[in-house]
Amino acid sequence: MTTAREARLSEYRSKATRSGAAIGARLLSPRSRDKPIRGAEDTQACIRSALRRRRRTLGLTQTAAARVLGIPRFRYHRLETGARQIRFTELAVICAAFNCHIGELVQDAELAQAFIYAAKAILGEAPG
C-alpha cells in the first residue's frame, strides 16, 4: 500500500519538465523575450481599460458618458469594448470631457508623450 506522500512523489515533475512540456504544447514561447513589449492592440486595450476606470471613477454610466461627449451611447460602447478603435482626436475630446491628462488614459509614457507632441503640433504650439 502506498502512502499519500509516495503518490505525490511519483507524480512530481520538476519546473524544467513542466515548462518543457508547455513549450512543446506551444503554450509558452522560448523566444517570448524577443517579441515587442506592446503592440497596437495592446495599447488600445490599455486605453480602453483606463477609459472604463476613469468613467467609473467619475460615477458615470456609458449613457451618461456618451451624453457628456456628445456621441450616441452605442458609439461610446463600441469605443470602450474595442469594437471600434479610439482615434487620436477622440482621445483628446475624451480627456477634455473627463478632465484628465492624456497620460492617465495612455499608460505607455513614450506613447503619451507622442500624443502630447502631436496635439501641440496640431495646435501650432510644437517647437519647429
Of 3.10.290.10, 1.10.260.40, 2.40.50.140, 3.30.565.10, the CATH number of 40-123 is 1.10.260.40
Residue ranges, CATH 1.10.260.40, the chain: 40-123
Which tens digits make up the pLDDT trace of 82-100? 999 888 888 888 988 999 8
Which tens digits make up the pLDDT trace of 59-71? 999 999 999 999 9
Which tens digits make up the pLDDT trace of 24-41? 544 444 454 444 444 557
Q: Which residue has the higher pLDDT, 126 or 109?
A: 109
The rounded percent of the chain whose pLDDT value lies above 70 is 66
pTM of the model: 0.58
The span from the CA of 98 to the CA of 79, in Å, is 15
C-beta of residue 50 within 8 angstroms of C-beta of residue 44: no
Q: How is residue 11 written as a grid cell?
A: 507524480
